[in-house]
Amino acid sequence: MRGPAFLFALPLVFGLAAPGAVLAHTPAGARNGMVVSASDLASAVGRDILRRGGNAVDAAVAVGFALAVTHPAAGNIGGGGFMLLRMADGKTAAIDYREVAPARATRGMYLDAGGEPVPDLSSRGPLAAGVPGTVAGLVLALERYGTMDLRAVLRPAIALARQGVPVSYSMSRSMTGTSRADMAADFRAFPSTAKVFLRDGRPLAPGDTLRQPDLARTLERIADGGADAFYRGPIADLIDRAMRRDGGLITKEDLAAYRPVVREPLVGAYRGYTLYTMPPPSSGGIILLGLLHVLEPDSIAAMGHNSSTFIHRFAEACNRLYADRAFFMGDPDFVRVPVAGLTSQAYAARIRAAIDPERHMPSAELTHGDSLWLARAAALREETHETTHFSVVDRWGNAVANTYTLNWSYGSRYVVDGAGFLLNDEMDDFSTKPGVPNLYGLVGGEANAIQPRKRMLSSMTPTIVTRDGKLALVVGSPGGSRIITSVCQVILNAIDHGMNVQDAVVAPRVHSQWLPDVLFLEPLGIPRDVAAALAAKGHTLDQTGFWSEVHAIQVDAPSGLLLGAIDPRSGTSAVAGY
C-alpha cells in the first residue's frame, strides 16, 4: 500500500487562462480510500480509520470529531449540520442534525423596544446559540451505517485534544480577526473562551500548541456514554449551568428533547448524471437542482467558461431562486415548502423564459414565484411519480458528503465552561426580523421566522453525483449563502467543461443572491472585458474577496482511481488517501 498523500494550498492562477482553457492542476490520487477536509490532521485520522478496515461513515464520524479539535473556527460538537450518504449498494440517506431553537425562544427575542434588530445579539454570546445537533447526528450515522464502535472512532480526537495541535499561520490569523470582527476582543469577553484561545490576553501565534484538556474530557465522556452523555448527562449539566449563569436559553430539557432526523435526499438529473443533495431545512438542494434545470438546455461548454453570456444567465437564475428561498423556504416540520414545484422542469422553463439575455433585472423588480402556480407544478410532478465540509470515499464505494457548522467563524465565540467547546450562533440564520439581512446578507421571510424547537434555514449543500449507478463526484463547501453557487459551479466545471476535480475546484467563481443586488466576481478571476460586458448588462459588480472552501472527490471512470481536490482559497485544506 502506498503511504499518505497530502496536498496543501496550490497557487492561485485566476485570470491566466482564457475561457474554456484547461487549468491543468493535478488532483491527488488514491486507489483504496480518500478523505478531503480542512485539516491535514483530521484527514489523516479519516485515512487511518479506512486503513484499519472502517468504512466511509466510520471515517467521516472520526473526521467530524477530529475537526472539533483541529479546526475550531468551524469544526464542532457545539453546532450542527447535514450528512449525505450513498452506500455501495445504492442506498442513500440525508441525516439532518441541524440545530433547533430553544423552547424559550421567541419571535422578537433579538429586537429592541422599537422592533429593530439589536446589533450582534443574534451572533455573539450564549443567547445566539441554538440547541447543538452535531453529537447526535454523528453518533446516529455511526450506529446506523458504520461498522466501528464509538470509542474507536473518537480515540484520535481525544488524543489530539489532550496532546495539543500546532497552531498554523491560518489558524492564528483566524483568532486575530478580520475587518468584520475583532476576534481577540470577542474571546476576551468570555473568560471560558479566553482560557482556551488566548495566552496572556493575546491570540495564539504560529508555532504555539493549542491544548484543550476540557474538550478531551468531554470527548471521553461521549466515547463512554454516547450521545446521552452530551444530551442528558454531565455535559448537559455543564451547558445548562453556563446558560443559566450567562443569559443563554438552552436548558437540559432542550438538550434531552433534541433528535436528528433522517430524511430522503433530493434527487435530480443533469446531462445523464444523477444528483443526490440536501432537502429542507437546507435551501441548498432546491436551489442547486433549480439552477441546473435552468441551465441544462444551454450548451454551457459552447458559451465558454465564465463568459459574460454564461455568468449573466447564471446570475439571473440565482437571483430568482434566492428570492424563492426568502419567501418559501424554512423547516419542513413547521412550514410547507413547495419542493417539487421549485425543482420541477416546468418551473425552470418559466425562469428561463423570464431572463433577458441582454439586461439584468434589478432585484427591486424581482419577486418570488407564484404560490398557486408552484402548487400546480408540484401536483403535476407528483402525478408522474418522479422524484467546514469534508468528503470521504472508501474502497467499497461508500461515500459521505458532510457539511457542518458553527455559523460564523468560532460561532458565538462562547466556550461552555468546563466542557471546552464553542457554541454556535445559528439563531442568526433565522429571520430575526423578516426583510432584514443576516450575517451573510440573506433576507428571510415568515417561513424562517423564529419558533421554539424549529430548525433554522441553511445553505449547506452536501452533494453526491453518480453516472449509470456508479459514484462520480462527492462535493460540498462552507461559505454561507455562497455554498450553493460554489457547489453548482464545481459540478458544471466537471460535467460541462470536462475539468478534472482539482481544476474544477480551483477555477474562479461568481455569486449572486437577489439581495444585495450585486454580482460578486472573485478578484483576478474574471477578465476585464467580461466584467465590462456584465456591467453593460446592468450588473453592479463586486470584485473583492475570495470565498468558500470546496472539498471534493471524483472517481475516474476508466480506472476507478479516486481523485481528491482541495481548495487553494484556504491555507489549511488537505487530502489523505491510500
List active site positions: 387
CA–CA gap between residue 528 and residue 521 (Å, rounded): 11
CA-only gyration radius of the chain, Å: 22
CA–CA gap between residue 91 and residue 262 (Å, rounded): 13
CA–CA gap between residue 357 and residue 367 (Å, rounded): 19
Q: Residues of 456-476 as b/e, b for ≥16 C-beta within 10 angstroms?
A: bbbbbbbbbbbeeeebbbbbb
CA–CA gap between residue 392 and residue 390 (Å, rounded): 7
Please list the residues that pair with 467 across neighbouring strands. 273, 470
* Distances from the Cα of 309 to the Cα of 15, 136, 178, 366, angstroms: 17, 45, 34, 20
User: Does an H or E element contain 472, and which?
Assistant: strand 470-476
**Quick count: other Cβ atoms within 10 Å of Cβ 240?**
18
| Nearest CA-CA partner of 448 in 458, 440, 462 | 458
* Distances from the Cα of 446 to the Cα of 105, 227, 336, 436, angstroms: 16, 33, 12, 12
Please list the residues that pair with 519 across neighbouring strands. 541
Amino acid type, 506: V
Grid coordinates representing 264 are 430522503
| Nearest CA-CA partner of 126 in 4, 8, 292, 244 | 244
Q: Cβ(323)–Cβ(279) under 8 Å?
A: no
Q: Cβ(503)–Cβ(22) under 8 Å?
A: yes
| Nearest CA-CA partner of 82 in 72, 90, 73, 92 | 92
In this structure, what DSSP letter does residue 398 have? -
